[in-house]
Amino acid sequence: MSLTRAAVLVRRKQLCSSTTIIQSRFASRDSHTHGEHDAHDSIEAGFSTPFWRNTLLLSLAAVAFYKWAPAPDEDVYLTRWLAHYATPREILAELNEKHLLQSQQVTDYTTLQARGTRPGIIRYRYPQSLEQASPHLQPVGAVPEVGLVVARSD
Protein backbone atom coordinates (compact mmCIF):
# COMPACT_ATOMS: atom_id res chain seq x y z
CA MET A 1 0.00 0.00 0.00
CA SER A 2 2.75 2.42 0.74
CA LEU A 3 4.31 1.72 -2.67
CA THR A 4 1.03 2.50 -4.39
CA ARG A 5 0.67 5.68 -2.41
CA ALA A 6 4.25 6.74 -3.26
CA ALA A 7 3.63 6.04 -6.96
CA VAL A 8 0.47 8.18 -6.91
CA LEU A 9 2.31 11.04 -5.23
CA VAL A 10 5.15 10.91 -7.77
CA ARG A 11 2.65 10.82 -10.63
CA ARG A 12 0.78 13.82 -9.19
CA LYS A 13 4.02 15.73 -8.83
CA GLN A 14 4.88 15.11 -12.48
CA LEU A 15 1.41 16.15 -13.63
CA CYS A 16 1.46 19.31 -11.53
CA SER A 17 4.87 20.40 -12.80
CA SER A 18 3.95 19.85 -16.45
CA THR A 19 0.62 21.60 -15.98
CA THR A 20 2.37 24.58 -14.46
CA ILE A 21 4.68 24.87 -17.44
CA ILE A 22 1.81 24.55 -19.87
CA GLN A 23 -0.25 27.07 -17.95
CA SER A 24 2.56 29.58 -17.83
CA ARG A 25 3.11 29.08 -21.56
CA PHE A 26 -0.56 29.75 -22.21
CA ALA A 27 -0.48 32.78 -19.95
CA SER A 28 2.41 34.40 -21.80
CA ARG A 29 1.14 33.66 -25.27
CA ASP A 30 0.25 36.65 -27.40
CA SER A 31 -1.09 37.24 -30.87
CA HIS A 32 1.52 38.72 -33.18
CA THR A 33 -0.54 39.81 -36.10
CA HIS A 34 0.84 42.56 -38.27
CA GLY A 35 -2.50 44.15 -39.05
CA GLU A 36 -2.20 46.99 -36.55
CA HIS A 37 1.02 48.29 -38.08
CA ASP A 38 -0.87 49.67 -41.04
CA ALA A 39 -2.97 52.09 -38.96
CA HIS A 40 -2.14 55.76 -39.50
CA ASP A 41 -3.44 58.48 -37.19
CA SER A 42 -3.37 61.93 -38.65
CA ILE A 43 -3.47 65.00 -36.44
CA GLU A 44 -6.36 67.26 -37.20
CA ALA A 45 -5.19 70.55 -38.66
CA GLY A 46 -7.01 73.80 -37.92
CA PHE A 47 -7.81 76.26 -35.13
CA SER A 48 -9.95 73.85 -33.10
CA THR A 49 -7.01 71.94 -31.61
CA PRO A 50 -6.27 72.13 -27.88
CA PHE A 51 -3.18 74.29 -28.48
CA TRP A 52 -5.16 77.08 -30.15
CA ARG A 53 -8.01 76.75 -27.63
CA ASN A 54 -5.57 77.15 -24.71
CA THR A 55 -3.84 80.06 -26.46
CA LEU A 56 -7.18 81.85 -26.92
CA LEU A 57 -8.21 81.27 -23.28
CA LEU A 58 -4.85 82.48 -22.00
CA SER A 59 -5.10 85.62 -24.13
CA LEU A 60 -8.60 86.35 -22.82
CA ALA A 61 -7.39 85.86 -19.24
CA ALA A 62 -4.47 88.27 -19.81
CA VAL A 63 -6.78 90.95 -21.27
CA ALA A 64 -9.26 90.55 -18.39
CA PHE A 65 -6.46 90.78 -15.82
CA TYR A 66 -5.06 93.93 -17.42
CA LYS A 67 -8.50 95.54 -17.58
CA TRP A 68 -9.57 94.80 -13.98
CA ALA A 69 -6.19 94.90 -12.27
CA PRO A 70 -5.84 97.73 -9.72
CA ALA A 71 -3.87 100.85 -10.47
CA PRO A 72 -0.36 101.10 -9.01
CA ASP A 73 -1.48 103.59 -6.33
CA GLU A 74 -4.44 101.54 -4.97
CA ASP A 75 -4.56 98.27 -3.05
CA VAL A 76 -5.69 94.97 -4.47
CA TYR A 77 -9.35 94.06 -3.86
CA LEU A 78 -8.43 91.22 -1.51
CA THR A 79 -6.26 93.55 0.59
CA ARG A 80 -9.08 96.09 0.85
CA TRP A 81 -11.55 93.36 1.81
CA LEU A 82 -9.23 92.03 4.54
CA ALA A 83 -8.65 95.56 5.86
CA HIS A 84 -12.42 96.11 5.99
CA TYR A 85 -13.03 93.05 8.19
CA ALA A 86 -9.84 93.23 10.26
CA THR A 87 -9.86 94.46 13.87
CA PRO A 88 -8.47 98.01 14.23
CA ARG A 89 -5.07 98.50 15.86
CA GLU A 90 -6.44 100.60 18.73
CA ILE A 91 -8.76 97.82 19.89
CA LEU A 92 -5.96 95.27 19.70
CA ALA A 93 -3.67 97.59 21.70
CA GLU A 94 -6.35 97.95 24.40
CA LEU A 95 -6.84 94.19 24.55
CA ASN A 96 -3.09 93.63 24.82
CA GLU A 97 -2.80 96.16 27.66
CA LYS A 98 -5.73 94.59 29.52
CA HIS A 99 -4.18 91.14 29.10
CA LEU A 100 -0.85 92.45 30.38
CA LEU A 101 -2.48 93.87 33.52
CA GLN A 102 -4.38 90.64 34.17
CA SER A 103 -1.20 88.59 33.70
CA GLN A 104 0.62 90.85 36.17
CA GLN A 105 -2.20 90.42 38.69
CA VAL A 106 -2.09 86.62 38.33
CA THR A 107 1.69 86.74 38.78
CA ASP A 108 1.30 88.79 41.97
CA TYR A 109 -1.24 86.32 43.36
CA THR A 110 1.01 83.38 42.50
CA THR A 111 3.99 85.04 44.16
CA LEU A 112 1.92 85.78 47.26
CA GLN A 113 0.80 82.16 47.47
CA ALA A 114 4.34 80.85 46.93
CA ARG A 115 5.91 83.09 49.60
CA GLY A 116 3.18 82.65 52.17
CA THR A 117 4.03 80.93 55.44
CA ARG A 118 1.93 79.72 58.33
CA PRO A 119 1.93 81.85 61.47
CA GLY A 120 4.38 80.86 64.13
CA ILE A 121 2.87 78.78 66.93
CA ILE A 122 4.44 78.14 70.31
CA ARG A 123 3.61 74.61 71.30
CA TYR A 124 3.89 73.47 74.89
CA ARG A 125 5.62 70.24 75.50
CA TYR A 126 3.20 69.20 78.23
CA PRO A 127 -0.08 71.15 77.83
CA GLN A 128 -1.75 69.13 80.58
CA SER A 129 0.45 70.92 83.12
CA LEU A 130 -1.71 74.01 82.64
CA GLU A 131 -4.73 72.14 83.93
CA GLN A 132 -3.15 70.66 87.06
CA ALA A 133 -3.72 73.47 89.51
CA SER A 134 -7.06 74.41 90.94
CA PRO A 135 -8.15 78.01 90.37
CA HIS A 136 -9.35 78.18 93.96
CA LEU A 137 -5.96 77.52 95.53
CA GLN A 138 -4.27 80.65 94.15
CA PRO A 139 -3.10 83.20 96.73
CA VAL A 140 -4.34 86.79 96.40
CA GLY A 141 -2.26 88.83 93.95
CA ALA A 142 -0.34 85.85 92.58
CA VAL A 143 -2.44 85.58 89.42
CA PRO A 144 -2.20 88.59 87.11
CA GLU A 145 -5.29 90.07 85.46
CA VAL A 146 -5.45 88.59 81.96
CA GLY A 147 -8.72 90.16 80.81
CA LEU A 148 -6.99 93.06 79.09
CA VAL A 149 -4.29 90.98 77.42
CA VAL A 150 -4.25 91.13 73.60
CA ALA A 151 -2.74 88.31 71.57
CA ARG A 152 0.25 89.39 69.55
CA SER A 153 0.79 88.17 65.97
CA ASP A 154 4.29 87.70 64.61
Tell me how many degrees the CA angle 46-48-52 measures, rounded to the nearest 5.
90
Cα 93 from chain centre: 28
Q: Is the distance from CB of 119 to CB of 154 less than 8 angstroms?
A: yes
Q: Is the distance from CB of 136 to CB of 130 less than 8 angstroms?
A: no
Highest mean pLDDT among 9-23, 76-90, 133-147: 76-90
Q: What's the pLDDT band for 15 if we cut at 50, 70, 90?
A: low
Q: Say what the alpha-carbon torsion angle 70, 73, 79, 84 is, to the nearest 10 degrees.
A: -110
> Is the pLDDT at 95 greater than 80, yes or no?
yes
Q: Report the half-sphere exposure of 106 (CA within 13 A, side-chain side).
A: 6
